[in-house]
Amino acid sequence: MIVRTGKDLCLIGERGAGKSFVARHFARATGYAPVETVFIYSDMTARDLLQRRTTGEDKETLWQPTPLTRAAVSGRLCVLDGIQRLPTGAISALLRLVEDRELTLFDGTRYVRPERYAAMRTELGMSEEELTAKQIFPVHPGFRILALATPPTGEAPWLTNEMLHLFHFFRLSIDLTSEEGREHSTALLQAVVPGLPAEVPHALATFAAAMGNMEADQSNTVSASVSLRLMLRAARRAAIYPTDFYEIVAAGIM
């Protein structure tokens, strides 16, 4: 009996907390770089996720594989960026691929898990050519998914029972408003941006913390969070064009 003991991975963290950075290092550490990336959007359909329909020069229908399908076929790592935005209809298309490693595409092509493909050959006595003629192919055993998501909220409670059993979950949680968070972002800016004026990292970290506190204030209607990504952008600009702090924030963040 085949038992699904392992799972694909899902990294949860606030916007700009460094999820893509960690994902890049995971891909490098496993030799999967470069990866296939799918940026999820809220009205994405199963077609957008698996196989897109286009029209050829002779007005004929052409089906094009998406990065997710390419990764499944070639054994690469697919990063699903923003899985919290995936609509219910597309989740059901994803379920079968994640859980069973199987896929039926819109042009009739079927991808089955490698063990099942091998069983078709041995138990049914079908040759590779016969299976190819029937448009049946194996999903590559090296195929993996790394999903990136922001934490679930009341408006987007995406972490449902359905999603819970698809992945192993990891939390990247840095509270930029805390003392530890400020120290962390100051140290990161100093390490990553050479030539940064000495006072800028701490000033940027303090500014980000103040903005974070402002956003936490329920009475404030302005979205004011400053992510690590924005701080890095401002710091890199400040290293090239050292100027006063107002200018650094205005040009690099606002």
Partner 1 sequence: MAHRARPQDPATDEALLAVMGATCSSLSPERAQRLLAFHRALLATGAEALVAVDSVGPSSALQQLMFCSEPGVLSAAKLLHTFPLMPLAEAVSRVYPLEAMYAVRDVGVRAKLEALLSGLAEDAAAGDAAYVVSQSVQMDSDPQHPSIRLEFTPSATAAASGGGGVPRLPSPLEEGSAMQEHHMKLLTEMLQSHAIGIRDQS
How many whole angstroms separate alpha carbon 174 and alpha carbon 176? 6
> For partner 1, which is the closer residue by CB, 29 or 240?
29
> For partner 1, which is the closer residue by CB, 156 or 250?
156
Q: Which of 6, 56, 125, 195 is close enough to bind partner 1 by CB under 8 A?
A: 6
Task: Identify whether 34 is preceded by a cis peptide bond (ω within 30 of 0).
Answer: yes
Q: Give me the 174-213 binding string for partner 1, x by CB under 8 A, dash otherwise.
A: x---------x--xx--xx-x-------------------
> For partner 1, which is the closer residue by CB, 31 or 56?
31
The answer for residues whose C-beta is within 8 angstroms of residue 111's C-beta and 6 or more apart is 72, 73, 102, 103, 104, 105, 136, 137, 138, 139
Would you state the structure tokens that stand for residue 225, as one six-digit string? 């969070």
In the numeric block, the tokens 């963040």 are attached to 253
How many whole angstroms separate alpha carbon 120 and alpha carbon 92? 26
Q: Of 32, 7, 33, 37, give the one whose Cα is nearest residue 148.
A: 37
Considering the rule CB under 8 A, would residue 96 count as an interface residue with partner 1?
no
Q: Which of 160, 178, 213, 220 is close enough to bind partner 1 by CB under 8 A?
A: 160
Q: Of 190, 193, 194, 205, give the one whose Cα is nearest residue 245.
A: 205
What is the DSSP code string of 168-192?
A: EEEEE---TTSHHHHHHHHHHHHHH
CB of 59 to partner 1, least distance (A): 38
Considering the rule CB under 8 A, would residue 140 count as an interface residue with partner 1?
yes
CB of 75 to partner 1, least distance (A): 7
> For partner 1, which is the closer residue by CB, 153 or 219?
153
Binding site for partner 1 (CB under 8 A): 1-9, 11-12, 18, 21-22, 25-33, 75-77, 101, 113, 115, 140-142, 144, 151-154, 157, 159-161, 164-165, 168-174, 184, 187-188, 191-192, 194
